[in-house]
A and B are shown apart, each in its own frame.
Chain A
Amino acid sequence: MRLRTQLAMVAVAAAMLVASASAQVRNSAANPIALNAVLTQSLSVNLSGNAVNFNLVASSANNPGSTTVTATTSWVLNNIVSLVSLYAFFGSSTSALTDGAGDNIPSADFQLSDNGGAFTALTNTVAFGGANAGLNLFNTLVFGNNKGTHTDVMKFNINLSPLPNLPPGNYTGTLTIQAQAI
């Protein structure tokens, strides 16, 4: 009796082995999903304020602006190497500010101090604006898919010492801040 039982168990085991040897795994076809992620290059400038007032004193070299303006330049670039630059400029060097009656304050008498640096007149020809009406605030070299920011705290001054005969009046103008990456 005991032997018969053992023979039966051997037979069942053999049957399982045969069944296993003959079965195959079935796979579906591979279905690809193409993935395409685009991180667009971007370059932006944000300003902390967009108006500056000046109370002018005739012939005075020191006529500071009412407030500083902070420019925050942000970039996401995919060039291998890029040069990011920030510029301040006027549309025209001769009439940076005007009273509308033919009297002007030229860009040469408008000064900007960047991040505590020396006051510098806007007398250069830069990527934007009029000839001899700009100032390069910074240049920074970036590598690869680079993401970064740069902060520039700008102070302003109008030097009227070269303009002793500027008539009283209200002088308005637009200073533009713009960045470029190449």
Chain B
Amino acid sequence: MRFVVVMLALFVTSLVSAQAINSGAQPIALNATLGESLTLTLSAATVNFTLAAGSAANAGSTNITATTAWTLKPGRTALGVYAYFAAAATALIDGSGDSIPSSAFFISDNAGASTALTNTVAFGGANAGLQIATVPITAANRTSSRTDVMVYNINLTGGTLPQLPAGTYTGTLNIQAQATP
């Protein structure tokens, strides 16, 4: 106990009388890079349709959810999510010259109205696309994400489609996002 008291007294005395000694300041340079990113992932990659001749309602076998995630640099003002085919006239084909055009292919996004792919968008063929979503980008959402639940339908009532021959029709629908400018 006496030792502790003595040492405490010495410490206090020392602090009172001593001046602080500082070492040199040693710098460590820090360099952190946050890259720009934009990704889109799908919950599934296949949808099947059991077609009924001349029917307007030929629903896809499953919904597909597109999850778009982004980290964007300042200056980006908008983000779009698009669905498209490479060619409007031949969205799905049977390989024998018979086709289902993109105008007969419909998507309902997040329970919205079912809309045909008839627009010219950032990707794909002319009149073969649909902008599913438009997101204004501000400082508040430079890093964010969104989901789009897509329900599909093929309408075989238009034009010559009621006479579409029986067969297996295949095609590729693409989903893609773009940040601008």
Most buried by A among B22, B23, B141, B142: B23
**Interface flags, B6-42, vs A, CB<8A=1, else 0:** 0100110111001111111111111111111100000
- Complex contacts, B10 vs chain A, CB 8 Å: 80-81
Q: Assess the B34–A168 pair: CB atoms within 8 A.
A: yes
* A165 in contact with B142 given A45-B24, A46-B26, A81-B14 (CB within 8 Å): yes
Question: Pick the contact of B30 from A44, A58, A59, A174 — CB < 8 Å?
Answer: A174
Residues of A within 8 A of B37 (CB): 58, 168
Find out whether the CB atom of B26 lies under 8 angstroms from the CB atom of A47. Answer: yes
Contact present for B21 and A181 (CB under 8 Å):
yes
Q: A97 and B30: CB pair below 8 A?
A: yes
- A79 to B18, Cβ gap below 8 A? yes
Nearest Cβ distance between residue A96 and chain B, in whole angstroms?
A: 8
CA distance A172 to B32 in the complex (A): 6
Alpha-carbon distance A110/B31, docked complex (angstroms): 12
* Contact status B23-A44, CB under 8 Å: yes
Give the tally of cross-chain contacts (CB within 8 A).
Answer: 158
- Among B46-54, B71-79, B91-99, B123-131, the one that faces the other chain is B71-79
Chain B 55-100 residues near chain A, CB threshold 8 A? 71-74
Interface size, B (range)? 35 or more
Dominant SS among interface residues on chain A: strand
Name the distance in Å between A119's Cβ and chain B's nearest Cβ: 15
A176's partner among B7, B28, B74, B140 (CB-CB below 8 A) is B28
| Contact of A171 (CB < 8 Å), options: B11, B33, B144 | B33
Chain A, interface residues (CB within 8 Å), range? 35 or more
B21 lies within 8 A of A43 (CB):
yes
Asked if A166 meets B27 with Cβ closer than 8 Å, knowing A81-B7, A105-B32, A180-B21, the reply is no
A23 vs chain B, min Cβ distance (A): 57
- Interface 0/1 of B144-156, CB less than 8 Å to A: 1000000000000
Given A54-B32, A80-B13, is A43 in contact with B23 using a C-beta cutoff of 8 Å? yes
Q: Which residues of chain B are near A46, meaning CB under 8 Å?
A: 26
On whether the beta carbons of A50 and B28 are closer than 8 Å, the reply is yes
Residues of B within 8 A of A (CB): 7, 10-11, 13-15, 18-37, 71-74, 139-144
Given contacts A53-B33, A81-B11, 16 further A-B contacts (CB under 8 A): A41-B21, A42-B21, A43-B23, A54-B30, A97-B30, A143-B7, A156-B30, A165-B141, A167-B74, A168-B72, A173-B32, A176-B28, A177-B26, A178-B26, A179-B22, A182-B15
Chain A residues within CB distance 8 Å of chain B: 41-47, 49-59, 63, 65, 69, 71, 73, 77, 79-83, 96-97, 101, 103, 105, 110, 127-128, 141, 143, 156, 158, 160, 164-182
Query: 21 A-B residue contacts at CB 8 Å?
Result: A41-B21, A43-B23, A50-B27, A56-B35, A80-B13, A80-B14, A81-B7, A81-B10, A81-B14, A97-B32, A101-B74, A143-B7, A158-B32, A164-B144, A167-B34, A167-B142, A168-B35, A171-B31, A175-B30, A176-B25, A182-B18
